[in-house]
Amino acid sequence: MRAGPGQKCLAMSKLYFSYAAMNAGKSTLLLQASWNYNERGMRTMLFTSSLYAKADAGKITSRIGINATANLYSADDDLCAWISKEHKRKKLDCVFVDEAQFLSKQQVWQLARVADRLGIPVLCFGLRTDFRGELFEGSSELLAIADNLREIRTICHCGRKATMVVRRSADGRTLTSGDQVGIEKSMYVSLCRRHWDDEIGRSAAATPSARAARPRAVKAKAPVKKAKPKAAPAKKAKAAPLKLAAAARARPPRRTKR
Ligand SMILES: [Zn+2]
């Protein structure tokens, strides 16, 4: 049995982590799931990282045009205290966290306590690894202690599953070092592990053709700030009818079977 909408047993609320590479539709899935709760008259609380909060302050937006208001969390916020206070004010049925890779280790534990002690399911969505191929702190802790892990799939240009991301400079060159955070989504591209390895240029076995094909890797200087998104997809697009979400699953995600 799973703790889903309508089930109130404290012991059954879980901490979920849905992870993926960039542009896999994480925010869309989050917004759909939250919508499904709301549609049943249930109350959700949404969080996203303050690191991305510029133009979209306090909002979770998806590339297909739907969005929702969200609380912005920072590294020093006690999420359990925050959620507990809101829960006392008015009962919460589910908590959603976008950009969960930026959670601190302590904050992941705070969210675990929300599930375990307040009896509220917590669904986290985030990137697994950064552009250097290393785990984010939040993702690392979620992979360690979440009750339920789900991989959201997206594909590389070659058609294989994309599990890695590369960071590109404004002129399209691949960056191999630099800050893990303080970034702009549009500068990231999802690749399969093999093409990531080729592009990063770590592999001595990278074929000559792969070496020739990939843009020259460079070191990142300061966090690159400019770079208008090349395609700027649907930024101003009107919110799409949320009806599309109604067809989606009403329950929190299940573990992916491989
Ligand atoms: Zn590939």
What is the rounded average pLDDT for all residues in the chain? 80
| pLDDT for res 56 | 56
Per-residue pLDDT, averaged over 215-229, amounts to 50
User: Of the listed 39, 86, 99, 137, which one is catalytic?
Assistant: 99
In this prediction, residue 206 has a pLDDT band, given cuts at 50, 70 and 90, of low
Cα separation of 160 and 138, whole Å?
26
Cα 33 to averaged position of ligand 1 atoms, centre (Å): 30
Question: What pLDDT is recorded for position 234?
Answer: 44
CB 20 within 8 A of CB 152: yes
**Ligand 1 centre from 213 Cα, in Å?**
13
Least confident piece of the model among 55-59, 102-106, 148-152, 166-170: 55-59
Higher pLDDT, 169 or 167: 167
| Confidence at 228, pLDDT banded by 50, 70, 90 | very low
* pLDDT at residue 129 in the model: 94
Q: Does 227 score more than 60 pLDDT? A: no
Torsional sign, CA 93, 99, 103, 109? positive
Confidence grade of residue 45 (pLDDT, cut at 50, 70, 90): very high
Question: What 3 state SS string does 162-224 have?
Answer: CCEEEEECCCCCEECCCCCCCCCHHHEEEECHHHHHHHHCCCCCCCHHHHHHCCCCECCCCCC
Span from the CA of 164 to the centroid of ligand 1 (angstroms) = 10
For 241-258, the pLDDT digits (tens) are 333 333 444 455 555 544
More confident residue, 53 or 119: 119
Q: What local confidence, expressed as pLDDT, does residue 125 receive?
A: 97
CA of 153 to the centre of ligand 1 (A): 13
In angstroms, the CA 194 to CA 159 distance is 12
Residue 226 has pLDDT above 70, yes or no: no
Domains (ranges, CATH) in the chain? 15-152 (3.40.50.300)
If pLDDT is split at 50, 70 and 90, which confidence band does 183 have?
Answer: low
User: Measured in angstroms, how far is the CA atom of residue 172 from the centroid of ligand 1?
Assistant: 18
64-118 pLDDT, tens per residue?
A: 888 999 999 999 999 999 999 999 999 999 999 999 999 999 999 999 999 999 9
Query: How many CB atoms sit inside 10 A of residue 11's CB?
Result: 9
Indicate the pTM of the whole model.
0.75
Q: Is 99 annotated as catalytic?
A: yes
| pLDDT recorded at residue 248 | 42
